[in-house]
């Protein structure tokens, strides 16, 4: 996997003797460099909450820096470097993400090896946790259990995101994808420091681990990084492939009541296509035409022409092969909005796509991809996704594939998309 030289970005992969994959994304576009360590876990109901809790506890202190205050002082001494960690969901994977970001060494006086120091601190937090009686410190575990409980309960505060996540949970009940990466509040009482410590050691010694380095970092430093990072894994906890294709026997509808000013209509679809399939880029263009921006059919016909939604968009999960249409709809407009949304899908199936809609949708995808190289977070996410599916495609190669998609390809892929679940959050006491 490599980026085009015109962007000043090159990417190389290295397999280390410790079982870790190192991905070096070399670029001079940023004044900082970051080291990102990802631990891959299968989303699993039995372990999801433990896995979410582990980074929160590790962040509290390490062997050489036993408190958050000492970690903060160390970061200040490293020219104000920044450290954070958490969990992210990629398809049916739950990834623990640890990262440290610091000033690029070429901007420092005297040739100081800041990256070495940042890597050592990251390793200290991840592989040398602060232990008490051979387990995590009881005080840290209890406090972070409380914090995780509050975090899980706060999901409902972002009503737009919660509506999407809730629809997926209902749609994918019984599938790994239906599990939220933060876990469940009811799991927390049974998690002890000993149980959590055992789970941590299983992760660190058996899970797939990737380290992604982003910045103006030379190839020679990668071998130095391998020596610094003490984590060693045998990769025995393999992550299974996504469960993708699923027939829809009946469309299910769910209604919840919440304290919201406007209703939230979510519609979950099975696309039967994922990033690993040859027709994925046909689906990508389809989604752009349907609801990928202000140019899309959903935005223009549901929001602009009929004023039925405060917002409306469609979003794909490229790993799982699902698509979600999300909209903010008043209770009185629920049925009409649902009808017009489904009309947009029917219109694409019937070939009712103008040349302007097609060209604008291609252009929107091109702009989005080219902007990847300008945002470190997006660039890291893109490279991680490519690594997960084992793709070597560069941004330029992906652009070529998108440009090669014809309108007939879009019409063909539209036939594979099936509505699975409708979920509506209505104002309490409303329709």
Rounded to an integer, the average pLDDT of 246-269 is: 91
Mean pLDDT of the chain: 91
User: Which one, of 56, 63, 69, lies nearest residue 144 by Cα?
Assistant: 56
The tens digit of pLDDT for each residue in 348-359 reads 999 999 999 999
- CATH annotation of 252-427: 3.30.830.10
Q: Do domains 5-228 and 252-427 have the same CATH topology?
A: yes
What's the rounded mean pLDDT across residues 63-71?
96
Residue ranges with strand state E in 58-217: 82-90, 93-103, 131-132, 135-136, 208-215
Q: pLDDT tens digits, residue range 33-59?
A: 999 999 999 999 999 999 999 999 999
Say how far apart CA 149 and CA 284 lie, in whole Å.
Answer: 36
**Percentage above 90 pLDDT, the chain:** 74
In the structure, what pLDDT confidence band is assigned to residue 245 with cuts at 50, 70 and 90?
low
Number of neighbours of residue 46 by Cβ within 10 angstroms: 7
pLDDT grade for 1, boundaries at 50, 70 and 90: very low
| Helix pair angle (48-58, 138-153), 10° resolution | 120
Radius of gyration of the chain (CA): 23
Query: What is residue 430's predicted lDDT score, i.e. its pLDDT?
Result: 58
CATH class of 5-228: alpha beta
Tokens 């990847």 appear where? 372
CA distance 55 to 65: 15
Classified as helix, coil or strand, 282 is: helix
When mean pLDDT is compared across 195-204, 298-307, 367-376, the lowest value belongs to 367-376
Check pLDDT > 60 for residue 183.
Answer: yes
Q: What residue spans define the domains of the chain?
A: 5-228, 252-427
Q: Please determine, for residue 20, whether its predicted confidence score (pLDDT) is greater than 50.
A: yes
Contact 129, 62 (CB under 8 A): yes
- pLDDT over 70 (residue 2): no
Nearest-angstrom CA–CA distance, 387 and 271: 22
Q: Which residue has the higher pLDDT, 134 or 104?
A: 104
- Tens-place pLDDT, residues 111-155: 778 999 999 999 999 999 999 887 899 999 999 999 999 999 999
DSSP state of 32: E
């Amino acid at each position: 996997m490599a980026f085009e030289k015109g962007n000043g970005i090159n990417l190389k992969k290295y397999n280390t003797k410790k079982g870790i994959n190192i991905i070096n994304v070399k670029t001079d576009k940023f004044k900082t460099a970051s080291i990102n360590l990802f631990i891959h876990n299968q989303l699993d109901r039995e372990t999801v909450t433990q896995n979410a809790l582990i980074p929160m506890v590790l962040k509290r202190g390490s062997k050489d820096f036993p408190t958050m205050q000492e970690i903060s002082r160390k970061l200040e001494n490293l020219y104000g470097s920044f450290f954070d960690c958490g969990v992210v969901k990629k398809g049916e994977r739950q990834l623990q993400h640890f990262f440290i970001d610091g000033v690029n060494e070429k901007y420092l006086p005297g040739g100081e090896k800041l990256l070495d120091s940042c890597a050592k601190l990251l390793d200290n937090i991840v592989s040398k946790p602060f232990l008490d009686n051979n387990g995590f410190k009881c005080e840290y575990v209890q406090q972070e259990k409380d914090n995780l409980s509050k975090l899980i309960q706060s999901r409902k505060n972002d009503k737009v995101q919660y509506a999407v996540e809730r629809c997926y949970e209902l749609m994918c009940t019984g599938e790994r994808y239906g599990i939220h990466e933060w876990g469940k509040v009811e799991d927390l009482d049974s998690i002890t420091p000993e149980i959590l410590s055992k789970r941590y050691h299983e992760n660190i010694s058996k899970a797939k681990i990737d380290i992604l380095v982003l910045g103006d970092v030379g190839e020679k430093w990668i071998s130095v990084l391998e020596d610094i990072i003490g984590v060693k894994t045998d990769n025995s906890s393999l992550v299974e492939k996504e469960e993708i294709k699923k027939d829809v026997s009946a469309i299910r509808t769910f209604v919840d009541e919440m304290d919201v000013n406007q209703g939230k209509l979510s519609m979950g679809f099975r696309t039967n296509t994922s990033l690993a399939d040859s027709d994925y880029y046909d689906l990508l263009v389809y989604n752009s035409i349907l609801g990928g921006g202000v140019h899309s059919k959903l935005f223009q016909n549901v929001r602009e022409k009929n004023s039925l939604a405060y917002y409306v968009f469609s979003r794909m999960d490229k790993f799982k092969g699902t698509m979600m249409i999300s909209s903010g709809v008043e209770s009185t407009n629920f049925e009409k909005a649902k009808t017009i949304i489904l009309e947009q899908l029917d219109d694409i199936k019937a070939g009712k796509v103008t040349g302007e809609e097609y060209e604008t949708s291609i252009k929107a995808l091109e702009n989005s991809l080219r902007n990847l190289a300008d945002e470190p977070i997006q660039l890291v996410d893109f490279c991680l996704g490519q690594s997960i599916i084992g793709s070597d495609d560069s941004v330029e190669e992906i652009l070529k594939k998108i440009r090669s998609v014809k309108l007939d390809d879009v019409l063909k892929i539209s036939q594979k998309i099936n509505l699975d679940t409708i979920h509506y959050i209505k104002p309490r006491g409303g329709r």
